[in-house]
Amino acid sequence: MRRVPLALAVSLAALAPLTARAQTSSPRWGSFELGTSSFAPNVDSAFAPIPGGPTGAGPWEQMFGIHRRWGLRVGLSKTVFDGFGALDVGLRTGYVRAGAKGFVNTAPDGQPAIWVRSGDTTYFHMIPTSAMVTYRFDWFAERFNVPLAPYGRFAFERYNWWVENGNGATKQKGATNGWSITGGVALLLDFFDPGLARELDAETGINHTYLFLDVTKTQVDDFGASRSWDLSERDVSYGAGLMFVF
């Protein structure tokens, strides 16, 4: 399976004419991206399952389950270097939410707790914000019309979060800081319709449109602070979306 993207890239590259692009484009300022990314925090890493309690490794899994949540993210970057690839500096923010029914202890007083789901829904809301530096190797895309541009990214992360109880009130709020590294590949959509791409550039100033896929490793635990929970990804976060270079 891992060979499929590689094979696709090679095939597309083979289709591309190995001639320098004579295409003219409008001046480049930076990039705008709109996409989605997964979220599955590592909150439970500091916990052991409670005897007789709901199944799950810790409070997050017991309450919200183990599956990933998908959130929206939007970012804006300024290109600070545009030569052998592009170096962008920018900010990105978004929103993700996890919700589930809370727990009620139905055991009589003095008896071991029996936890069942209540009718009240509790939510964990989060606004992840990133200050990021991205290097995108689009030299081949610019020069030889090869439609793939790999990229790497380092970011400082700040996750503003709040927990909502069943009455819709904010039970607790806070922010957790950290960092992340990302590796991804951007598919240059201009490749499939160069005429339309040039028209888009002429009319809107958008030089290129990319479809991107990436994988991010995060470490968001207030840099190891003992009084913070770990909002790092359990393994890695997956992201996808559209990026407009303008």
How many residues of this chain interact with another protein, rule: CB under 8 A?
49
Strands (E), 189-236: 208-220
Among 5, 18, 66, 174, indicate the residue that binds another protein (CB under 8 A). 174
Using CB under 8 A as the binding rule, whether residue 210 contacts another protein is answered as no
Q: Closer CB to another protein, residue 151 or residue 229?
A: 229
Using CB under 8 A as the binding rule, whether residue 27 contacts another protein is answered as no
Distance CA(16)–CA(163), nearest Å, equals 51
Q: How far apart are the first and last CA of the chain?
A: 34
Judged by DSSP in three states, 89 sits in: strand
Q: How far is CA 132 from the centre of its chain?
A: 12
Using CB under 8 A as the binding rule, whether residue 36 contacts another protein is answered as no
Using CB under 8 A as the binding rule, whether residue 182 contacts another protein is answered as no
For the window 87-126, what string marks contact with another protein as x by the rule CB under 8 A?
A: --x----------x-xxxx---------x--xxx-xxx--
Q: How far is CA 31 from the centre of its chain?
A: 16
Using CB under 8 A as the binding rule, whether residue 229 contacts another protein is answered as yes
- Interstrand relation of 208-220 and 148-164 (parallel, antiparallel or unpaired): unpaired
Among 35, 37, 63, 71, indicate the residue that binds another protein (CB under 8 A). 63
- Interstrand relation of 208-220 and 237-245 (parallel, antiparallel or unpaired): antiparallel
Helix (H) or strand (E) holding 37: strand 30-39
Residues forming the site for another protein (CB under 8 A): 43, 46-47, 50, 58-60, 62-64, 78, 80, 89, 100, 102-105, 115, 118-120, 122-124, 131, 133, 156, 158, 163-167, 171-177, 179, 222-223, 225-229
